[in-house]
């Protein structure tokens, strides 16, 4: 009977896909930028195929939408278990890991691009998810999301921001009614809101 149980246990192990058997969870302990994080192990991970705006540009200061990208990346992965998937080239010239990052069913690399926090930057041998990342960028551009909204024209005389959520809205947006007066901030154009880290409302799409 014991022998039979051992055999069944071995068969069960052998039926598990090889990649799943080797799967390992990592925990992100630090957000370095919109596309780079540090694990609990101390290893630094750069997202493959993703380029977020820099916090320190050559011209000085942060690039357009840089702070928003960092904040969104933090929301996605900070202190969460992530699964790393590697491609042909596993490390960059600085020794940082290059990976596709997943939090449960969320493909972080594509999510950043799809929501306008990053551009696709597929190059070299790491092209496994090239089509998915390119598609995410096409959709973000079509919707004028994030970094693609920099030159979007103002359609309102002013916009209303929520200091608690760092989101700005059109004056007629239904979400404005729920904002306490002390949490409201008025912007006379979109760029003023975006420059200090506010993001457009997903409902009224200012």
pLDDT digits (tens, 9 = 90+) for 138-177: 999 998 899 998 878 899 999 999 999 899 999 999 999 9
Q: Count Cβ neighbours within 10 Å for each residue of 155-180 and write b for 16 or more, e otherwise.
A: ebeebbbbeeebbbbbeebebbeebe
Predicted confidence at residue 191, as pLDDT, reads: 85
The pLDDT tens digits of the residues spanning 35-79 come to: 999 999 999 999 999 999 988 766 557 788 999 999 999 999 999
Q: How confident is the model at residue 195 (pLDDT cuts 50, 70, 90)?
A: confident
Token pair listed for 116: 């306008």
Share of the chain above pLDDT 90, in %: 70
Higher pLDDT, 132 or 23: 132
In this predicted structure, the answer to whether residue 82 has a pLDDT above a threshold of 50 is: yes
Residue-wise DSSP of 91-139: B-TTS-EEEEEEETTEEHHHHHHHTTS-EEE--TT--TTHHHHHHHHHH
Of 77 and 12, the one with more pLDDT = 77
Contact, 65 vs 146, CB < 8 A? yes
Buried b (16+ CB within 10 A) or exposed e, 128-139: bbeebbeebbee
Does residue 17 surpass a pLDDT of 50? no
CA distance 23 to 6: 24
């Amino acid at each position: 009977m014991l022998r039979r149980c051992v055999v069944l246990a071995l068969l069960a192990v052998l039926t598990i896909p090889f990649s799943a058997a080797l799967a390992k969870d990592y925990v992100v302990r630090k957000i370095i930028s919109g596309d780079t994080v540090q694990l609990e192990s101390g290893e630094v991970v750069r997202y493959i195929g993703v380029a977020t705006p820099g916090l320190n540009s050559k011209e000085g200061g942060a690039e357009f939408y840089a702070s928003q990208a960092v904040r969104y990346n933090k929301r996605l992965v900070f202190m969460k278990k992530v699964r790393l998937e590697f491609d042909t080239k596993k490390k960059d010239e600085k020794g940082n890991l290059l990976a596709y990052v997943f939090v449960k069913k969320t493909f972080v690399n594509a999510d950043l691009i799809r929501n306008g926090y990053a551009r696709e930057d597929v190059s070299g041998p790491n092209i496994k998810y090239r089509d998915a990342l390119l598609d995410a960028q096409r959709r973000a551009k079509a919707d004028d999301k994030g970094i693609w909204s920099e030159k979007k024209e103002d359609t309102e005389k002013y916009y209303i921001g929520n200091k608690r959520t760092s989101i700005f809205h059109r004056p007629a947006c239904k979400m404005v009614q729920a904002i306490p007066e002390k949490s409201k901030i008025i912007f006379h154009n979109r760029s003023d809101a975006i420059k200090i880290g506010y993001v457009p409302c997903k409902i009224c799409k200012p």
